[in-house]
Amino acid sequence: MTKFDTLLVANRGEIACRVMRTARAMGLRTIAVYSDADANARHVREADEAVRLGPAAARESYLNIAAVIEAARRTGAGAIHPGYGFLSENGAFVEALDQAGIVFVGPPASAIAAMGDKSAAKARMAHAGVPLVPGYHGDDQDDALLKAEADKIGYPVLLKASAGGGGKGMRVVESDAGFQAALDGCRRESQAAFGDQRMLIEKYLTQPRHVEVQVFCDAHGNGVYLFERDCSVQRRHQKVLEEAPAPGMTAELRRDMGEAAVRAAQEIGYVGAGTVEFLLDADSSFYFMEMNTRLQVEHPVTEMITGQDLVEWQLRVAMGEPLPLAQDELTITGHSFEARLYAEDPEQDFLPATGTLTHFAMDLEGAGLSSFEKGRARVRLDSGVESGDVVSMHYDPMLAKLIVHGDDRDQALATLNRALAALDVQGVITNRAFLQRLATHPAFKNAELDTRFIERHEATLF
């Protein structure tokens, strides 16, 4: 591993701004890349230098490996941070960087590949002693055999495309009568989306929570967990509100999940920041779901409760340094929430919204809040936009993330609600009112969480 003094951020929006903020604080020169649609975007304005990649279409810009590498060469960038999405979990990109002698701020290509295929990943995890949802993830894909496995697991079962992602090629099967039709449907969907028809079958948990563990490994064999996040509040498998720590965890369960997550990472030779996602059942059983081999959107809630800067950890690990802290030096202080502000219209089935942000600000003072309190961040707005910016339809509609910290969950939630009210966004429709309804919902206040929270409370949320 090599030291570097210039970092290219191969991303856009809030995450590009957020990564550059830490890079600057560490004394690194920052390079932005952009598509034609983003020529005047905030991440371009904030970088020391910016390079055009190509037209608006992501395929021709942010996903264009050759153009990104050429931009790094031209600007003398010794390392590339991929953010999340785009090229962040693309093994071919990592291999191309290895060949070009550019440091990838992330795991080795082999670790990305090990987690890229759901069936293969499950086999590895079983080997590492990480608990899996009861199910079938074998190579034999014969119809009759799959049906027999589903019968054995017991309905409802969940069919999942081995090569899947983003909820595609996934179906719940309520009873054996519907199995064959669901299998055919999933295979068609998976073939179309991923060019692959392999399926795995899992027991369908009816009220699980989504609890994920932040892990970090360095290149010297050290691995730690930075505790968990509860991301159960999802709409169509998209996270909306996240929090850390997860409510109701015992110290023992936290340690068991944390240690399982570190085992998962070390099994595949992981280096850098990763997230191991688990389903947590009502009886406190937890099951490995998948590992995301990148920095997550919701990483700030972990930063808020640990007081650590995860991007700084990533950059240090990429420079070959050992992890900044050992497991017993990490502690949880207070509680944190994150709300994702999307340019979308909840009144119109969450249709993405576009336009010019005539006004985008948060009046903290007016709300009686301050961004720092008792020496730590209390309200944080990670944003990719400012007043006057144009929101186009080309990319993910997330505008910003509002992150708060409190001494306990109740205090943090009260702060979240005040900060949401202090947000003033004009010119583009957002989901702010929907976030407010969620964050003031009695069931949410009581932490009655599971992945169908939004579905179950539809009547009172819309």
The verdict on 454 binding ligand ADP (CB under 6 A) reads no
Q: Does 248 bind ligand ADP (CB under 6 A)?
A: no
Q: Name which position in 14, 290, 303, 396 contacts ligand ADP (CB under 6 A).
A: 290
Contact, 196 vs 117, CB < 8 A? Answer: no
- Verify binding: residue 186, ligand ADP, rule CB under 6 A: no
Q: Is 116 in the site for ligand ADP (CB under 6 A)?
A: no
Residue 377 near residue 300, CB atoms below 8 Å: no
- Minimum CB separation of residue 159 from ligand ADP in Å reads 10
Strand locations in 198-261 (E): 199-203, 209-217, 223-235, 238-244
Determine which one of 294, 340, 378, 432 is catalytic.
Answer: 294
Binder to ligand ADP among 78, 82, 208, 384 (CB under 6 A)?
Answer: 208
**Does 417 participate in binding ligand ADP (rule CB under 6 A)?**
no
Pairwise CA distance, residues 389 & 402, whole Å: 18
Residue closer to ligand ADP by CB (options 241, 279) is 279
Tell me how far, at minimum, the Cβ of 409 lies from ligand ADP, in Å. Answer: 22
Asked if 338 interacts with ligand ADP (CB under 6 A), we say: no
Comparing CB distances to ligand ADP, the nearer of 158 and 317 is 158
Of the residues 129, 167, 320, 355, which one makes contact with ligand ADP according to CB under 6 A: 167
Note whether 271 binds ligand ADP by CB under 6 A.
no
| Range in contact with ligand ADP (rule: CB under 6 A) among 94-102, 198-206, 416-424, 429-437 | 198-206
Kindly state the number of chain residues that form the binding site for ligand ADP, as judged by CB under 6 A. 19
Minimum Å gap between C-beta 150 and ligand ADP is: 13
**Is residue 165 close enough to count as binding ligand ADP by CB under 6 A?**
yes
User: Phi/psi at 352 (nearest 5 deg)?
Assistant: -55, 140
Name 329's Cβ contacts closer than 8 Å, sequence gap at least 6: none
Q: How far apart are CA 443 and CA 462, in angstroms?
A: 15
229: nearest Cα among 278, 273, 267: 278
The answer to whether residue 453 forms part of the interface with ligand ADP (CB under 6 A) is no
Contact present, 201 and 157 (Cβ < 8 Å):
yes
When asked if residue 357 is in the footprint of ligand ADP (CB under 6 A), the reply is no
Tell which residue, 429, 383, 430, has the closest CA to residue 403: 383
Choosing from 205, 295, 403, 420, the residue that interacts with ligand ADP (CB under 6 A) is 205
Question: Over the range 404-419, which residues count as b (16 or more CB within 10 Å of their CB) and which as e?
Answer: bbbeebeebbebbbbb
Q: Which of 81, 210, 294, 299 binds ligand ADP (CB under 6 A)?
A: 210
For the chain, give me the number of helices (H) and strands (E)?
Answer: 16, 25
Which of the stretches 107-115, 158-166, 190-198, 216-224 binds ligand ADP when contact is defined by CB under 6 A? 158-166
Q: What are residue 302's phi and psi, to 5 degrees?
A: -70, -40
- Among residue numbers 227 through 246, which ones bind ligand ADP (CB under 6 A)? 237
- Residue 18 falls in the annotated catalytic set: no
Assess contact for 341 and 362: CB atoms under 8 A: no
Residues, the chain: 462
Residues 155 and 173 sit within 8 Å (Cβ to Cβ): yes
Is residue 273 within a helix (H) or strand (E), and if so which, with residue range? strand 272-280
Stretch that binds ligand ADP, among 40-48, 162-170, 192-200, 386-394 (CB under 6 A): 162-170
164 interacts with ligand ADP by CB under 6 A: yes
**Residues belonging to the active site:** 294
Site for ligand ADP, rule CB under 6 A: 133, 158, 160, 164-167, 170, 202-205, 208, 210, 237, 279, 289-290, 451
